Each structure stands twice: as structure tokens, then as C-alpha cells.
Amino acid sequence: MATIHVDGNAYDVDGSDNLLHACLSLGLDIPYFCWHPAMGSVGACRQCAVKQYKDENDTQGKIVMSCMTPAADNSWIAIDDDDAKAFRARVVEWLMTYHPHDCPVCAEGGHCHLQDMTVMTGHSQRRYRFTKRTHRNQYLGPFVAHEMNRCINCYRCVRFYNDYAGGTDLGVFGMHNNLYFGRHEEGVLESPFAGNLTEVCPTGVFTDKTHTRHYTRKWDLQYAPSVCHQCAVGCNTSPGERYGSVRRIENRYHGEVNGYFLCDRGRFGYDYINRDDRPRRPEWHDAGVKTLDVDPALDRGADLLRRADRVIGIGSPRASLESNHQLKTLVGENNFSTGIAAAEQACLARMAGIDAAGALATPTPREMESHDAVLVLGEDLHHSAARLGLNVRQAVLGRREELAEERGIPLWNAEAVKTLAQDSYHPLYIAYPSATELDGISAASMRLAPDNIARLGFAIAHEIDAEAPAVDGLDAATQAHAKEIARALLAAERPLVISGGSLESTAILDATDSVVRALARREKNGGLLMVRREANSTGLALMDGKPLERALEQVSLGHADALVVLENDLYERLPQARVDETLDAADGLIVIDHQRTQTWQRANLGLPAASFAETDGTLVNLEGRAQRFYQVYDPRHLRPECRLHAGWRWLDALRASLGRSAGEPLTFAKAVADCAESHPALAGMESAGDHAELPGTLKLARSPHRYSGRTSMRADISVSEPRMPQDPETPFEFSMEGYSGFDRPRRNVPFAWAPGWNSPQAWNKFTDSVGGHLSGGDPGICVAGTVKAASSGYPAANRIPAAFAHQGDRFQLWVLPRLFGGEATSARADAIAERAQTPCLRLSAADARALDAEDGETLTLTAGESRLPLALHIEADLPDGLVTLPAGVMPGAPNGHWVTLDKAPGKTPGKEDG
């Protein structure tokens, strides 16, 4: 704590901050550019100048950069000082000398930090009268557009991209006032976090290309707090809608989950909900396709269900808890499947068990960053839970901060901290079959077959605690690694273990269990985080459903004759033949989805579901945090013909139709309450979000004050103006009318705006301290995950797998997660499809040689009855005997099974070998 005096007022602040950070946290405005709360200070832009005085008697003072000055106790400063103000106005004037003043055609306009700061400093007259230099721009891939002429040279982009996110292909080139921020040559930005440049850049150099395609100003967008549906991390997002389509996804600040940053899948993967081919009205598939209105659709659905002897409900880890619960209610507990394949579900169950045993607590993503040693068993985070890759990187870089503290260098002094530590890192160990993005900063990256990853894990546990089971016949290299890793984990204050279900190996999870138990026995204050695949995988694991194969079996075996499939494409999960066989045997199939999937095409009745932007729901992320996403817009307002409804609403209506009851339609509040009540494990989910605000208080606005054209938006449909859609379910209004301020603490913030702060930097007005937590508390509530508990024994002691052995001419198949293209819904977004690399299969150099196959050559992979021809990529140090495939190219590929490869031309992917 320190007391600082600003413009004559005394404030208590955190003395370890710099003055800029401290003042912004107090709610005072100081303009700045190069500083960023997540990246610290570098003192480059000189915009944050204030006057500092030696003491209260000093009347002279001198100008200092607030970002580079400690908020030392008894500091005396003035923001409102004529010299400082004049200097700040000069700085903006300089920055603008070469700026093109092209706000009207700039995608940043309206949420531009440069605009905000220019206004804040009061600079409005341009005195520079000479020519401006211009730059050529680069193609940077499908996500990010480049307009270098707008650059104000704050260096934030390279500091984020390289220092923070570990990228290597973006740089700053040239010197003096001829600087260029871009790639060394045109091409796709390689970092999976490149999209953050659109928010990190304070002006319009890096903008969101997916947004520009259907551009709308920030003030004309309608928002709601949402949660990313593209993986299990659960980053908080603000989707912005206009004219019935989502125009962009922005980061929504969350102090514990995503902070200021998202991954590119989450940011740019939304366009599947805007697809033209999306089902928007119920469909009856017979000889042809017949679209129906809601009531006839429900009648036909009810008929179909009524005719069936037994109906199986297949839920989905990409649908909300509420929708899954309504499905379960409709079909009955015994007939409910999670929609997750057995191998994955086994892993989920195993992970839930480990969490429940509670040897080590589950850290939040932010907490992960303060761990001082990390072991990753069987995950490639940049692909399976990308945002966490960024967190692990910060954990590893945390060593710098430790060193800086020892040497009295303030942690915000970013370049100094970096310089001091050079490449001293906290130890990171990664065991994975293939190369991973974090290898560059790991102490060791071991390329191992999954069974050997498990053996390594068991061996580490044994090294940590001699009572943990020893591994028989361990090779010397693994033994040495195990010793080194155990030593590093024990030397750490807070070791972190990361594992998960990406490889669908319960053996790895058993080993993880042993490691964390061993650490717990050595009283380590560590953490364990296990990666799940989909947005609601963790939630579904708590809902007690059967695995997908078991449910389909009921139909194939004739024990059931109809299916209701909720937001799930069975063809993405099991081999084609397996799904066909079941659907052929079923008498009726109802599919509720927002995508025209292969499963939808086979439905008798298709009911168009609302996507995450069109309804409310709750998801449980991989830490066990239940988070609410809210409806962004009402699709019927602008497309009156569409009949989109939440999954939970369709299912409730089906149940009502089936029972011929015409009761009250289900409210969202009731859907939440029902689910919470039926699942003790989910009891907390009710407080994951808020329903309508307390009576008498204002509702919250979904759009900014300046939202324009509301009354004319439907003019092409009808000039008479209908009432705006009402939202009795949530605290939000479909309107700019309502509260959108920051002075009353709240956790539900659809969009961040404060007077004078139009850019994403406005989030700093909504936090308790800059970079801290939302002032009303970070949204969501932990329902699962682990609270540390005493654990004893090593239950997996007798499940240590044998060492992996090469099987002659057969290869063990492993499907590796893939950020772009490896997740079914985002893969349907054009930008993601464009970004996805052409899939290939990978073999070690030795195996390729044995097959006499060359890099790039097509090989046919035969797994049971499925065949897949794919180009070969030789990954020199992949373990021999393995073949890997990226996720999303061979649905239902049997992970861990033995397959053959041959050079003969194969058939189309996934097609049965007849």
C-alpha cells in the first residue's frame, strides 16, 4: 500500500504498480498507448506524461512518464497540469503527423483507442503541413487485415505477438519514422492468438477481416455477454449483432478465465451461425423436404414419438445444460445419452473422478500463470485448449518476475524484466507424441507414444513418492526424464500438472492421478488442470448419460425405435457405417440443431435450434465453472419467417405436445432451476448468471447509446414499426435503453463503453483495479473442479500399461486435436476453413523409410472398415510405430488402434470399403 497525491487529492494505491496503472485503477484518466495492463510498461509513446513533484512544497515539478514511474508512497503528481497537458497534446499531434485521418473508412472507427486519446488530450488542429509517408500493406491471412498507414508505432503488436504470445513471424522493420510492423514477407500470421492484435493495436492497423466483410460500427451493434462455444476453456466473449447476423466477436474481460485475450478459433469461428444454409424453419423430410410452422412441426414430432416404443435421446457437449436436461426429461433418464463416444466419455468420467478425489486443486487459467513448474502429459494446449497455452507461457515466463523481484526491478518494467532474465524460465515438461507450440520454452519435450507418456507419468509419481507404484522395465531415457521432472516439480513451490482427454487415453489419466497424489503426499501446493474437448464436456460428464455407442446399440438391437438428437452430428463422432446402421434401423429421428449436419439430413423431423447468440444457456468449462451465455438478438425481429428456438424450448414444447398439455411454456429461469434441481452436482448453476434484475431497477442495455437506425431497420419489411422484442428472461433489454454504465458494480457487461473510452480499453473502467476482476465479481460459478481434499493410496497402481511396442507393418493411430478445422462447428465458418491447413498423416522418418514413402506422397490408412487416403508428412522425431491424424478428417477414428498404411490409391475419406 502507498499513498499518492494526485491533483491535490490523496489516494491509497498498490505501491508495486506504476503511476499510470494506479491512476487508471482509481478511475482517473491519463492517456496512454504503449502501456497495456497485461504487458506492462516500456515508455515508448510518451503519451502518459504527468507532472511529478519532489514533495508537497515543490512547485516546479518535472514531467515524467507515469507508466515508467513507481507509485511510490508519498508521491505527488498532477495530471491536470498545464505543462503536462500541453506535452500530451503535442505527443498526439506528433503521432498524427503521418496518420491518414481516414476514420470514416476505417474499421477501427468508433472503438478506436487513438480516437479516444486524441479527444482526451484535446488535440484538434493539425499544424503539420508536409507530405506524409505511406506504406504498402500485407496479406496476413483470413483473419486479420493490415493497414500500416494508420500505425502510430506504439510497438504493442510486436510486444503482444512475440513477447507475450511467443510468435516469431511478426516484427518491426526499418527505423526512425519509417517503421513497419508486419511479417517479413506476406503470408498468414502463424500465431493462433493473432486475432488479439485487433484489440491490442490502438488504431486501425490490425482489424478483424471477418468483421469487415459485414461491417458495422461498434455503436450500431447489439451485444450480450456470451461464452465461447469453440472449446472447453469457456472464454468470455461479446458477440455483436446487426441485421440478424453476428458481425464479430470481441473479448469480454474476465479476471480469472480469459483476461484480455482470446484464441483465433474463438474470435473468428462464429460464422457458422450466419450460414445461409442454416435451417431456420422446421423441416419434414420425406421424399423431399417440406418446411413447416412450429405447431405442425410439434404435432408431427409428438406423433413420431408417440408411435415409438422407446425413444433414445442423444444430447450434446456443445449444447447447454438446460437443453440437455430437457432432453433427458423428455426421454427419461435411462434413455439419455450424453452424445459423447465411449472412449471420450471414459476419460471424462476418469477426470471427474480425479477431480473429485481432490489431490490437487484446479487452478483458474489466471492462477495457472503463478505456478512455477509445469508438467504437461498428453496435451498440445495450443490445439486442444488454446487460451491455456497462453497461460502456460506466462507461467513459464514467471521466472523472469521472480528474478526481477530479487534484483529490485519493478515487474511492470517489461523490457528490463525481459532483459534481466534472458531465457531463464520456470521448468516446463511436455510429453506428447508430436511437436507442440510450447516446445520452444520447455525444459524438455519428450515425443512419446501415449502408453509411454503414461509410463513416464507413473515413473515421475514414483520418483516423487516412493510409495507410488514403480514402473517395470523402464528404459533409461524415460527413467532419467522422470527423475529430472520429479526433482523440478518438488523444487517448485506450486507445481502444475496439465493433462486431459485429448488423446483419449485413460492410461495417461491414471498416470496423472498418480502424479498428483504423489505431489499431494509431499505436501505440494500444486494444481491440476485437465483438458476436456468441448464447451460443455465437463457439464455433460456431470449429467449422467450413457455413451453414444451404448445408446445407438439400443436402436440397432431393436430395444428402441426412435431417436431425438440434440445439437449433435453423430457422423462427427462415430464411423459412418456405425451411424448409418443405427439410423437405418430407427423408425423415427428428430434432430434439433442449428447446423445442417449430415445427421440433420437424415432426420424425419428437423427442428431449427437457436445458436448461442440467439438464446440463453449455461455451460461448464474445464475448470468446472458454470457460465451463462445470453441471447444477443431475437432472430425473428428481422427475419420474421424464421422459427429458431432454443433446444430446451423445443424439447419442452415437444414434451407438452406429446402429453397434449397446453401448460405455460418453459421459462429460462425454470429451465435452469429444473436442471439444477435434478442434478445435485449442478446445484450451483443457478447463480452462474442472472435472470431479470430486481424489480424497480433499470434493465441493462444491449446496445450503446448511439445505436442508430433502430426504427428504420425493418423498413424493407414493413414501415410500421413493431414493438422491440421483449426479454423477460434476462437482465437485458433488446435496446440501447437501459443501464450501460460502469459506476454500479455488475458482472453482466454486454459491451464495455465509458464516456471517452470507446475502445476495448474501456474494460478497465469495469474492473475493481485495472487487470483485476470485474467490479461486480467475475461472472460464473465453480460447480465442479477440485477443492483440495485429502487423498490416499494409488488406486491406479495396477493399471500401468506395458511399454509401447512397434508392431511390424501396423501402426498405432492417434488423432491429434487441431485448432483450426478440428472442431466441428467452427470448421463451418469460412475464415476458419480457409485458415485450416490441408490435413496430412504423420509418420516418423524411420517408418516412412520402411514404407518407402516420401514426404507429400499419398498413403491410404485402413482402420477396420474405414479407409482414408491422405498425404504423408514426415515428422522426423515422431515415435516409431505411430501414425497421427489431425482431428476432423476421419470421424470416429479409433484412437490407439492398430491400422495399416499402404501406397495403393485409396477410396474417398470415411467411405466404407465394400
Partner 1 sequence: MTDRLYDAAGTTAPIATDGDGFVLHDDDRRAILDERDHYEQPQAACIEALKIVQKRHSWVPDAAIAAIAEALGVGVGAVEGVATFYNLIFRQPVGRHVILVCDSSSCFLTGFEELGEALSQRLGIGFGETTKDNRFTLLPTCCLGACDRGPAMMIGDDTFGPIAPDDLSELLEAYP
Partner 2 sequence: MMTSIPSNSRLRYKSQLRQPASERLEHTHPLTWRLNDDGSRVGLDEYRQKNGYVGAQNALEQAPDDIIQAMKTANVRGRGGGGFSAGVKWSLTQVGDNLPRGYMVCNADEMEPGTFKDRLLMEQQPHLLIEGMIISARANRSKYGYIFLRGEYVDAARSLSLAIEEAREAGLLGDDVAGSGFDFDISLHTGAGRYICGEETALINSLEGKRANPRAKPPFPGQSGAWGKPTVVNNVETLCNAPAVLQHGAEWYQELSGNLSNDGGTKLYGVSGLVACPGLWELPIGTTGWDILERAGGMREGHTLKTWLPGGGSTGFLLPEHLELPLDFDTVGQYGSRLGTGLLTVVSQRQSLVALLRNLEQFFARESCGWCTPCRDGLPWAAKILQTLEHGEGRPGDIELLQEHAANIGPGLTFCAHAPGAAMPLESAIRHFRADFAAGIVEEDAKGGSAVADGSDTAAAKEEVS
Question: Does residue 126 touch partner 2 according to CB under 8 A?
Answer: no
What is the closest distance, in whole angstroms, from the C-beta atom of residue 762 to partner 2 in the complex?
Answer: 23
What is the closest distance, in whole angstroms, from the C-beta atom of residue 63 to ligand FES in the complex?
Answer: 12
Cβ burial of 715 (10 Å; 0-12, 13-18, 19+) is exposed
CA–centroid distance for 579 within its chain: 30
Work out what residue 766 binds among partner 2, partner 1, ligand FES, none; the CB cut-off runs from 5 to 8 Å by kind: none
Question: Does residue 83 touch partner 1 according to CB under 8 A?
Answer: no
Question: Does residue 98 touch partner 2 according to CB under 8 A?
Answer: yes
Interactions with partner 2, residue window 485-504 (CB under 8 A)? none
Question: Does residue 175 touch partner 2 according to CB under 8 A?
Answer: yes
Residue 520 to residues 351, 495, 501, 526, 903, Cα–Cα distance (Å) = 17, 10, 22, 8, 50
User: Which of these segments, 56-64, 101-109, 660-668, 787-795, binds partner 2 (CB under 8 A)?
Assistant: 56-64
504: nearest Cα among 896, 899, 897, 910: 896
Work out what residue 182 binds among partner 1, partner 2, ligand FES, none; the CB cut-off runs from 5 to 8 Å by kind: partner 1
Q: Is 39 in a helix, a strand, or coil?
A: coil
CB 296 within 8 A of CB 283: no
What is the closest distance, in whole angstroms, from the C-beta atom of residue 404 to partner 2 in the complex?
Answer: 9
Pinpoint the alpha helices (H) of 128-230.
Answer: 156-158, 197-200, 209-212
Nearest 5°: CA angle at 455, between 449 and 461?
A: 140
Work out what residue 660 binds among partner 2, ligand FES, partner 1, none; the CB cut-off runs from 5 to 8 Å by kind: none
Candidate residues 9, 422, 718, 720; the one interacting with partner 2 per rule CB under 8 A: 422
Nearer to ligand FES, 49 or 700 (CB): 49
Candidate residues 15, 100, 171, 725; the one interacting with partner 1 per rule CB under 8 A: 171
Interactions with ligand FES, residue window 4-43 (CB under 6 A)? 20, 32-35, 41, 43
CB 213 within 8 A of CB 605: no
Nearer to partner 2, 55 or 130 (CB): 130
Interactions with partner 1, residue window 715-744 (CB under 8 A)? none
What is the closest distance, in whole angstroms, from the C-beta atom of residue 42 to ligand FES in the complex?
Answer: 7
Question: Does residue 127 touch partner 1 according to CB under 8 A?
Answer: no
User: At a CB cut-off of 8 Å and minimum separation 6, what does 588 contact?
Assistant: 304, 305, 307, 308, 561, 562, 563, 604, 605
Nearer to ligand FES, 79 or 448 (CB): 79
Candidate residues 49, 117, 566, 819; the one interacting with partner 2 per rule CB under 8 A: 49
**Residue whose entry in the numeric block shows the C-alpha cell 434493465:** 699
685: nearest Cα among 731, 623, 618: 618
- In single-letter form, the type of residue at position 329 comes to T
Candidate residues 18, 25, 47, 138; the one interacting with partner 2 per rule CB under 8 A: 47
| Residue 854 falls in which region: left (phi positive, over 0), alpha (psi -120 to 50) or beta | beta
Torsion of CA 786, 791, 793, 797, to 10 degrees: 0
Query: For residues 882 and 433, what is the distance between their CA atoms, to the nearest angstrom?
Result: 8
Phi, psi of 515 (to 5 degrees): -60, -45
Supply the angle between the helices 321-331 and 647-658 in degrees, to the nearest 10: 20
Cβ burial of 203 (10 Å; 0-12, 13-18, 19+) is buried
CA–centroid distance for 569 within its chain: 21
CB 730 within 8 A of CB 690: yes
**How many chain residues are in contact with ligand FES, going by CB under 6 A?**
14
Work out what residue 656 binds among partner 1, ligand FES, partner 2, none; the CB cut-off runs from 5 to 8 Å by kind: none
Q: Which three cell numbers stand for residue 778?
A: 467475475
What is the closest distance, in whole angstroms, from the C-beta atom of residue 24 to ligand FES in the complex?
Answer: 10
Nearest 5°: CA angle at 470, between 348 and 522?
A: 75
Work out what residue 135 binds among partner 2, ligand FES, partner 1, none; the CB cut-off runs from 5 to 8 Å by kind: partner 1
**How many chain residues are in contact with partner 2, going by CB under 8 A?**
41
User: Which of these segments, 349-357, 412-420, 596-604, 798-806, binds partner 2 (CB under 8 A)?
Assistant: 412-420
Residue least distant from ligand FES (Cβ) = 67
Nearer to ligand FES, 34 or 77 (CB): 34
What length is written for the chain?
914
Work out what residue 98 binds among partner 1, partner 2, ligand FES, none; the CB cut-off runs from 5 to 8 Å by kind: partner 2
Site pattern 4..43 for partner 2 (x: CB under 8 A) = --------------------------------------xx
Query: For residues 342 and 546, what is the distance between their CA atoms, to the nearest angstrom?
Result: 8
Site pattern 44..83 for ligand FES (x: CB under 6 A) = xxxxx----------------x-x----------------
Question: Does residue 854 touch partner 1 according to CB under 8 A?
Answer: no
Nearer to partner 1, 183 or 382 (CB): 183
Query: For residues 536 and 385, what is the distance between their CA atoms, to the nearest angstrom?
Result: 13
What is the closest distance, in whole angstroms, from the C-beta atom of residue 617 to partner 2 in the complex?
Answer: 47
Work out what residue 678 binds among ligand FES, partner 2, partner 1, none; the CB cut-off runs from 5 to 8 Å by kind: none
User: Which of these segments, 118-126, 173-181, 216-224, 503-511, binds partner 2 (CB under 8 A)?
Assistant: 173-181
Query: For residues 740 and 748, what is the distance between their CA atoms, to the nearest angstrom?
Result: 10
Query: For residues 91 and 85, what is the distance between their CA atoms, to the nearest angstrom?
Result: 10
**CA count, 13 A, side-chain hemisphere, 520:** 24
What is the closest distance, in whole angstroms, from the C-beta atom of residue 93 to ligand FES in the complex?
Answer: 16
Question: Does residue 172 touch partner 2 according to CB under 8 A?
Answer: yes
Work out what residue 97 binds among ligand FES, partner 1, partner 2, none; the CB cut-off runs from 5 to 8 Å by kind: partner 2
Residue 334 CB: number of other CB atoms within 10 A? 11
Nearer to partner 2, 420 or 713 (CB): 420
Residue 446 CB: number of other CB atoms within 10 A? 19
Question: Does residue 53 touch partner 2 according to CB under 8 A?
Answer: no
Binding-site ranges for partner 1 (CB under 8 A):
130-131, 133, 135-136, 138, 158, 162, 167-176, 178, 180, 182-186, 422-423
Binding-site ranges for partner 2 (CB under 8 A):
42-47, 49, 62-64, 68, 87, 90-91, 94-95, 97-98, 127-130, 152-153, 155, 172, 174-179, 407, 409, 413, 415-416, 419-422
Binding-site ranges for ligand FES (CB under 6 A):
20, 32-35, 41, 43-48, 65, 67
